[in-house]
Amino acid sequence: MRADTYIPRRLDDQWKIGFWDVDVAAPVLFMFFVGYMSGSKMSFAVCMASGIALSRWISRLKADKHPAYAIHWLYWHLPSNPMTAMRATPPSHLRRMVG
């Protein structure tokens, strides 16, 4: 019995929008929405240019780093609240660990 079974090789890949990771595509999509809601062509062009520039900056920042670098950066630099706090890890303001 010969069956073509598909065996996935990568289960923990980042979410993608087309060819781009979500954290790289999100600024462009958000600025597209803001530019669309502004109502003028000039502000739309400015919003899209700033969204593309921010996206390029994020992609350069992520280059040669862990795939979840953006999530780790957000954890360490944004304040924690009950919605974003993790139970298994210490709060982000505790930088020194013993053990």
pLDDT at 1 over 60: no
pLDDT at 22 over 70: yes
pLDDT interval class at 18 (50, 70, 90): confident
pLDDT at 2 over 80: no
CA angle 56, 61, 66 (to 5 degrees): 125
> Which of 12, 35, 25 lies closest to 58, judged by CA?
25
For residue range 28-78, list pLDDT tens digits in order: 999 999 999 998 999 999 999 999 999 999 888 888 888 778 878 877 777
* Domain chopping of the chain, boundaries: 16-77
Q: What is d(CA 46, CA 42) in angstroms, rounded to the nearest whole number? A: 6
